[in-house]
Structure 1
Amino acid sequence: MDEPTHAKGVIGLLSPAEKAALKSLIAGESLVELARRRAITTEGAYDLSSSMKLKLGVTQNAAAVRIGLMAGLT
């Protein structure tokens, strides 16, 4: 399976909120900005980001961004 196909598959596992967190990460927003925009606590934004990365199978933000870009998520 090629990378874009794999990326699209794992993106499909994300909830709408987790996809929003990934888009926020791709846009360069901080967790504080994500929390403010989604009207949640900073801790909630951290949990959302952690859950997103867990589902993507990565530990670093850069790896999550790579998957998002490979899937065409902008």
Structure 2
Amino acid sequence: MSLTAGTAQDEAPAPAPRERETLGHIAAGRTHLQTARHMGLSQHTVDAHLRRIRAKLNITTTAEMTRLAVSPGL
């Protein structure tokens, strides 16, 4: 599964730029609070970004998100 949008109808939509940025911070080992402070967001917004990523990509764990974040094509 790729994190970039494709032309196929059944392909998952790509995360928005701020969602990708949030994912990068989490993949780098930052907590939700540290990510929020670094990005100038509330912790609630960081949580919302991560929930949307999980829904778009149909993944359930932070480990899966991290694996996708470090794979080529993000």
Fold shared by both chains (TM-score > 0.5): yes
CA distance in 1: counterparts of 2:39 and 2:28, whole angstroms? 15
State how many pairs are aligned: 65
Q: Give the corresponding residue for 2:65.
A: 64
CA distance in 2: counterparts of 1:41 and 1:70, whole angstroms? 27
CA distance in 2: counterparts of 1:71 and 1:55, whole angstroms? 18
8 A contact 1:31–1:42 mirrored in 2: yes
Using structure 1 for the length normalisation, give the TM-score: 0.76
Unaligned segments of structure 1, at least 5 residues: 1-5
Q: How does 1:34-45 map to 2 (within 5 A)?
A: 34-45=35-46
Report the identity percentage: 22
Structure 1 runs of 4+ off > 4 angstroms?
A: none
CA distance in 2: counterparts of 1:56 and 1:68, whole angstroms? 12
Is 1:49 matched with 2:50? yes
CA distance in 2: counterparts of 1:60 and 1:33, whole angstroms? 19
CA distance in 1: counterparts of 2:30 and 2:58, whole angstroms? 21
CA distance in 2: counterparts of 1:61 and 1:53, whole angstroms? 9
Which has more helix, going by share of residues? 1
